[in-house]
Amino acid sequence: MPGFRGSGLSPQDPTARTAMASKKSAREGLGRDMNIILVGAGNMGFSMLQKWLADMEHRFYVVEPVGALRKRALDAGADAFATAEDLPGVFEADVVVVATKPQAVPEAVAKYAPYISKEGLFISVAAGVDIKTMVAKAGRQFAIVRCMPNTAAAIGEGMIVCCPSVQTTLSQRDLTGQLMSAIGKVAFVNDEIHMDAVTAVSGSGPAYLFHFIEALAKAGETAGLDPELAMTLAKQTVLGAARLASESDEPPTTLREQVTSPNGTTAAALSILMDLEDGLTSLVTKAVAAAKARSIELGR
């Protein structure tokens, strides 16, 4: 097991300090106190960390090479280190969560595999790195869960889809769900083949909605609105409709029908958007198919 080698930082460096503050309250169902390593404390990683620190009584260790991000994690209440070698001696992690760029994940698996306990769990929230690649880099057997978040995770409103390896137990799956719920809504698929479609729908999906906002705002300008007002209307309309669809017991089809009066303005617009050949459904279907195909190509 890796031993303690020290950070190499001076005592005056605030990022060298070890946070000693106790966590506020434990979330039910996570069992005993755990050692949890978070690799990467950028926007998404830090969003998770803040929620974990507020809700759980586990020991959180952040490894982040960027000094400002490391200090931010330290100030939030985590133990923060510049490298894996700086972690405490005789150290075993129950969970390692990697929130880095995709290209850094294979190296992270190899680097942190020695720190993971025999019954430990490795979670990746980086897009595009499959379980087979991570298993090959690990050098030994332990549970791995591949998670696909989207950009809204940075504000706690993400959609995170997780796929567990065959070694993952039900309790580890539940733990993954509870950890990932810090950044949004969580769903599971048992076959990794579905992750390409997941990437195409929810992974890339925010970009589709951003473009729709752009298009709606531009249409508003063309209709005579001030550009700033048109953008405000577009953003709030999409936000409000999404919240209504999320919170309502009615399906989106019913909500659409409720706001569409026969021969009214909405019906006139929908006659264009719902055209069978050139309408929105046809365009989005083609877009998702293209994204899925590209995801498959990138995974080869």
pLDDT tens digit at each of 300 positions of the chain: 443 333 333 333 443 333 332 333 333 445 568 999 999 999 889 989 998 998 888 999 999 999 999 999 999 999 999 999 998 877 789 999 999 988 888 889 999 998 898 899 999 988 778 899 898 888 888 899 999 999 998 888 999 999 999 999 999 999 999 999 989 999 999 999 999 999 999 999 999 999 999 999 999 999 999 999 999 999 999 999 999 999 999 999 999 999 999 999 999 999 999 999 999 999 999 999 999 999 888 777
Cα→Cα distances 112→105, 121, 132, 237, 244, Å: 10, 11, 17, 45, 43
Q: Provide the 3-class DSSP secondary structure of residue 28.
A: coil
Distance (Å, rounded) from C-alpha 55 to C-alpha 65?
26
Domains of the chain (ranges; CATH) run: 14-195 (3.40.50.720), 203-298 (1.10.3730.10)
Please tell me the pTM assigned to this model.
Answer: 0.82
Going along 30-92, which residue ranges are E strands?
35-39, 59-63, 79-81
Q: Which residues are annotated as a binding site?
A: 99-102
Residue stretches of the annotated binding site for NADP(+): 99-102
Helix (H) or strand (E) holding 93: strand 93-98
